[in-house]
Amino acid sequence: MIRRRRWEISENLVSPAAAMFDRRRFIATGLAAMAGSTLPLLGCNESVATVPATPDPTADLYPVPANSAFRQARALTPIADSAKFNNYFEFGSDKRIAGEAQALEIRPWEIRIEGLVEKEMTLSVDDLIRRMPLEERIYRHRCVETWAMVVPWTGFPLAELVRLARPLGSAKFLLMESFKQPKNATNQQAYWYPWPYHEGLRLDEAMNELAFLVTGAYGQPLLKQFGAPLRLALPWKYGFKSIKGLTRFRFLEKQPRTFWEKIGENEYGFWANINPRFPHDRWDQDEEWMLGTREVFATELFNGYAEEVAAMYDLEDRKFFY
Ligand SMILES: Nc1nc2c(c(=O)[nH]1)N[C@H]1C(S)=C(S)[C@@H](COP(=O)(O)O)O[C@H]1N2
Ligand SMILES: [Mo]
């Protein structure tokens, strides 16, 4: 089989289920266009939300000072580009889900901490955000599909949440779960996806200083298409590990299976650490292209973050790169 570069194929996602969504979407938007109605997300110069839609209860906290330890040589991706090219399968399987994502209800929003912890707890996302030490960090983001971006996230280390949770000694893994709102996130009505979206980390990965819980971006509260009110940023792993719309953190003894592991054998698995030497089933990973400029760069081991994370893995063991 010949592997092609991601940007030589279409911008659709990769699983058979996703292809089905695309077909359904195509029919739906095609019919709407014929009926003469205006859908907000047709065409390529459509406008999308780049400011939070509703008054955000934490808006007074922004902007937050930048932590100068987390900078990038590459230019920031303009919000006009990153806010209209997203992966959020709850809202659709192509990149133009920003309009659909505005249907998500993000308040009230509860965060549940459970499993192997001293005391399980439920707290409102606003309480959590106000308790945490917010900072801005500029991170690279590399999607498994080979597109990449540079974003100024606001948030706090995942390690702070782990400390708040006080896990028991037996806790070795962290499972994280997204919301379930099938009424508003219409792809959640598709039964062949194992909703809600869920991801996992080994506890030492969760405690690594790079693992960052995101509450805002570009100096303002997080946009819905970016995963408001709470998402993860794991810049050394493929983007699908950076779970959006977080509601649940469960501490476990055993490694959990993730959303994408359940969907397909030929997708990357639990670890998904970025390595240009380990191709996807259907394309190479040795290069990446930037949203906006389309500039192409060589993919770096751990997306350029090897210094911070390489010690956590056996680099000879292939499993850590799938
Ligand atoms: N809940 C949820 N989180 C998710 C996804 C998703 O579909 N649902 N997509 C992932 C993928 S594949 C990527 S590349 C990033 C994209 O983040 P962005 O759209 O903010 O750039 O979100 C990740 N987090
Ligand atoms: Mo992705």
Q: Using CA positions, which residue lies closest to atom 2 of ligand 1?
A: 244
Query: What span, in angstroms and rounded, lies between the C-alpha atoms of 74 and 79?
Result: 15
Distance between CA atoms of residues 5 and 282, nearest Å: 9
SS (H, E, C) the chain: CCCCCHHHCCCCCCCHHHHHHHHHHHHHHHHHHHCCCCCCCCCCCCCCCCCCCCCCCCHHHCCCCECCCCCCCCCCCCHHHHCCCCCCCCCCCCCCCHHHHCCCCCCCCEEEEEECECCCEEEEHHHHHHHCCCEEEEEEEECCCCEEEEEEEEEEEHHHHHHHHCECCCCCEEEEEECCCCCCCHHHHCCCCCCCCEEEEEHHHHHCCCCEEEEEECCEECCHHHCCCCEEECCCECHHHCCCCEEEEEEECCCCCCHHHHHCCCCCCCCCECCCCCCCCCCCCCEEEECCCCCEEECCHHHHCHHHHHHHCCCCCHHHHC
- Cα 238 to middle of ligand 2, angstroms: 6
What is the CA(53)–ligand 1 centre distance, in A? 20
Ligand 1 pocket test, pick from 240, 241, 258, 289 with the greatest ligand atom count within 8 Å of Cβ, gives 240
The set of protein residues with a Cβ atom below 6 angstroms from ligand 1 is 86-90, 143, 178, 197, 226-227, 239-240, 242-245
Predicted pLDDT at 151: 98
| pLDDT score at 49 | 86
Output the CA 170–ligand 1 centroid distance in Å.
30
List, in order of start, the domains of the chain with CATH numbers: 11-314 (3.90.420.10)
Rounded CA gap, 70 and 137, in Å?
5
Going by alpha carbons, the residue nearest to atom 4 of ligand 1 is: 243
- Predicted pLDDT of residue 191: 87
Written as six digits, the tokens of 281 are 């089933």
Nearest to 149 by CA among 159, 158, 139: 139
- Measured in Å, residue 134 CA sits from the centre of ligand 2 at 25
Query: Is the CB of residue 155 less than 8 Å from the CB of residue 213?
Result: yes
Contacts of 93 (CB under 8 A, 6+ apart): 12, 13, 17, 18, 19, 21, 22, 25, 187
**Encoding tokens for residue 284?**
């190479």
pLDDT in tens, the chain (322 residues): 344 444 443 443 344 334 333 333 333 333 333 333 333 333 445 678 899 877 899 999 999 999 999 999 999 999 999 999 999 999 999 999 999 999 999 999 999 999 999 999 999 999 999 999 999 999 999 999 999 999 999 999 999 999 999 999 999 999 999 999 999 999 999 988 999 999 999 999 999 999 999 999 999 999 999 999 999 999 999 999 999 999 999 999 999 999 999 999 889 999 999 999 999 999 999 999 999 999 999 999 999 999 999 999 999 999 999 9
Q: Which ligand is nearest to the CA of 179?
A: 1
- Ligand 1 atom nearest residue 88's Cα: 7
* d(CA 90, ligand 1 centre) in Å: 10
Q: Is the dihedral of CA 209, 212, 218, 221 positive or negative?
A: negative
Of 254, 255, 227, 251, nearest in space to 239 by CA: 227
How many angstroms is it from 48 CA to the middle of ligand 2?
20
Tell how strand 198-202 and strand 212-217 pair up. unpaired
What the block records as the tokens of 159 is 């390690």
Protein residue whose Cα sits closest to atom 1 of ligand 1:
244
Nearest ligand 1 atom to alpha carbon 89: 7
**Residue owning the nearest CA to atom 15 of ligand 1:** 239
Residue 49's nearest CA partner among 182, 220, 246 is 220
DSSP bridge pairs for 178:
246
**Ligand minimally distant from the alpha carbon of residue 93:** 1
Ligand 1 nearest-atom number relative to CA 149: 21
Which ligand is nearest to the Cα of residue 87, counting in written order? Answer: 1
